[in-house]
Amino acid sequence: MTPTEMQQKDRQNPLQGEQSCEVVLASASRARATMLSQAGVVCRLQPANVDEDAVKTELRASGSAVAAVAEALAGAKAAAVSHNNAGAVVIGADQMLECEERWFDKPRDRAGAAETLRALSGRDHRLISAAVVVRDGQRLWQHTDHATLSMRRLGDDFIERYLDAIGDAACSSVGAYQLEGLGAQLFERVQGDFFTVLGLPLLPLLGFLRTQGVLAE
């Protein structure tokens, strides 16, 4: 990299590292992309073509723990996208929600979102977030973290009013809520890392990217 190119890069992002490799997020998640962007990681989104339901079904049948499933899905996404992005640092991520041994998926519609909220109401549940980094088909790093959330008891009237307020966003996350928004009103207590709740173990990921020269030390 020439001195001129380094100066231009520093003006764009003064916390950028010395490596000029592309970073690709193997996801369509705007929430994860926003987290990375706000933390100074410039990345391109490319959703992975992975049959998540099939992976979950197979791993659950084999007795895999929910954390292992989250990591397997994150790894599968990163590997699939890495195949067509030579030299790029590809980040795969996934989040699972477990409540009393039941695994939840993103609700398909408003009725499904209401059912999810009724099932979580008055109970603790765990959000497990995993991230895997792959480059040229080689897994370089992985990390899994979890947070425990205690949802207060929700009446049917409140659930309907809440769903009216958030609209389609109810179907964009596994628990039918966004903690950084109106979803905060659903909870009595949150134990764990905020970024993990949002769907990405961000701080460990940033630490790894620094070791690779993607971010400045």
Please give the residue range of the domain that contains residue 129.
22-211
The pLDDT value given to residue 147 = 98
Is position 216 within any domain?
Answer: no
The pLDDT value given to residue 30 = 87
CA torsion angle 29 30 36 38 (round to 10) = -170
- Is the CB of residue 134 less than 8 Å from the CB of residue 140? yes
pLDDT at 181 over 90: yes
Is position 14 within any domain?
Answer: no
Query: What total number of domains does the chain contain?
Result: 1
99-147 pLDDT tens trace: 999 999 999 999 999 999 999 999 999 999 999 999 999 999 999 999 9
Is position 1 within any domain?
Answer: no
78-104 pLDDT tens trace: 999 999 999 999 999 999 999 999 999
Average pLDDT, the chain: 92
The pLDDT value given to residue 136 = 96
The pLDDT value given to residue 12 = 59
Q: Which residues of 36-49 are buried (b: 16+ CB within 10 A; e: fewer)?
A: beebebebeebebe
Catalytically active residues, by annotation? 94
Residue with tokens 């990921």: 205
Is position 11 within any domain?
Answer: no
37-59 pLDDT tens trace: 999 999 999 999 999 999 999 99
Query: How does residue 6 score in pLDDT terms, banded at 50, 70 and 90?
Result: very low
For residue 69, the domain's CATH number is 3.90.950.10
Is position 35 within any domain?
Answer: yes
The pLDDT value given to residue 3 = 34
